[in-house]
Amino acid sequence: MLRQWWVAVGVAALALWFFISIEPVLMPFFVSMVLAYLGDPLADRLEAKGLSRRLSVSLVFLLLTMIIVISVLLVVPVLGRQLGQLVESLPAVLNWVEETVLPRVQSLTGMDLTTDIDALRKTVMANWKETGSFAAALLSQVSRSGLAFVAWIGNLALIPVVTFYLLLDWDILVAKVRDWLPRRWETSVIRLAGECDEVLSAFLRGQLIVMLCLGGIYAIGLTLLGVSFGLLIGLLSGLASIVPYLGVIVGISVAGVVAFFQVGEWWMLLGVAAVFGFGQIVESVVLQPKLLGNKIGLHPVAVIFAVLAGGNLFGFTGVLLALPAAAVIMVLLRELNERYKNSPLYDAKLSRHDDEELP
């Protein structure tokens, strides 16, 4: 039995080394797996209505493609413009902080931060104009590294192809994996896989929709309010909502500063608070109960740690794998805890000799 465990550990270590070695190649396949996982339930529903699997997958694939293309065509250019405007306005923002905010802070607290802000302002003023030349240098470097650029384009082109075939054969692949399981482990593995799927589906599908809805509410509300960079701030706040309350804290802070700098009136802060308050009401009353419920079970600290650790270890691929891996580990730890609580080790009776030795 011990020898089998050592063999399993060796195989796992070898597999980990192999995946780390080919990590640059894995990115399109993991992106395709995530997209196929998100689209498979809809394909199954269409198939249940009488459509063929190929037609169902084609419709889902077309829907995913349209969503991605429309998002890129509509959102990315606006985000690019607002990001450029943000870079151009940084010197003016720092001047406003130095001339308006710092005197008020000094009068209230007695702290003199003028020297630090002045040094920061000089650094920004000296380097912000180099952004364009940096972008040009980066583009030149990409052009010189023709092979890397071609490989990057090839990886992007692989994503739709791999996604389509994974969607087409998803149920077949799941059935084959189940057939490979040892018979004595099948029941336990299928139960644990079901729990993992419940957590992942709630998080990846439900939380993704919640993030997009909140990002849309914040972006539209701030834009209608007339806040500069409203689309950029709103979408970033929606993405930050992957951690509960982080999106609203970051969004209302940044949007409040921008709005007050832009207008200089306190009523703008009330408008920003109203936008984010409306978003929180929609999330609490509609989005969370309908889409997530109590199925996630991932602690916010675990989410932050998983994303940072995955990105640090494996880059973008690690970020994609972080939350699924965290969900699986959480389910396994829950199972181990349950077995430990039901084991003789946990519920062992103390002998009289043991009881006397305890303090």
Max avg pLDDT among 77-81, 103-107, 119-123, 340-344: 340-344
Q: Is 188 exposed, middle or buried (0-12, 13-18, 19+ CB in 10 A)?
A: exposed
234 close to 218: Cβ distance less than 8 angstroms:
yes
Are 275 and 237 in contact by the 8 Å Cβ rule? The answer is: no
Asked whether 151 and 28 are in contact (CB, 8 A), the reply is: no
Taking only the tens place, the pLDDT of each residue in 217-228 is 998 998 888 888
Q: What are phi and psi for residue 294, nearest 5 degrees?
A: -115, 30
Q: State yes or no: pLDDT of 116 exceeds 80.
A: no
Distance in angstroms (rounded) separating the CA atoms of residues 255 and 80: 18
| Tokens describing residue 321 | 């794998």
Contact by Cβ (8 Å): 282, 212: no
Q: Is the pLDDT of residue 148 over 50?
A: yes
**323 three-state secondary structure:** helix
| Neighbouring C-beta atoms of residue 221, cutoff 10 Å | 21
Residue 130 tokens, joined: 């180099």
Query: What are the CA-CA distances from residue 165 to residues 40, 62, 172, 204 (Å)?
Result: 12, 13, 11, 21
pLDDT of residue 33: 84
- Give the model confidence (pLDDT) of 210-266 as tens digits: 888 898 899 899 888 888 888 888 888 888 887 777 788 888 888 888 887 777 777
Confidence at 108, pLDDT banded by 50, 70, 90? low
User: Considering the chain, what percentage of its residues have pLDDT values greater than 90?
Assistant: 2
Q: Residue 136 phi/psi, 5° resolution?
A: -65, -40
pTM listed for this prediction: 0.65
Taking the alpha carbons of 120, 123, 125, 129 in that order, is the dihedral positive or negative? negative
Which tops the pLDDT comparison, 76 or 268?
268
Q: What's the start-to-end Cα distance of the chain, in Å?
A: 38
pLDDT at 134: 44
CA nearest neighbour of 27 among 252, 244, 317: 317
Is the distance from CB of 311 to CB of 319 less than 8 angstroms?
A: yes
Cite the DSSP H helix spans in 49-130: 53-96, 102-109, 114-127
Is the four-CA dihedral 202, 203, 204, 210 of positive or negative sign? positive
**Residue (of 174, 167, 160) closest to 53 by Cα position:** 167
324-339: per-residue pLDDT in tens? 777 778 878 887 888 7
Residue with tokens 């690690």: 318
Sign of CA dihedral 52, 53, 55, 56: positive
Place of tokens 């059935």: 175
Tens digit of each residue's pLDDT (9 = 90 or more) over 12-55 = 778 777 776 776 677 788 888 888 888 888 888 998 888 888 89
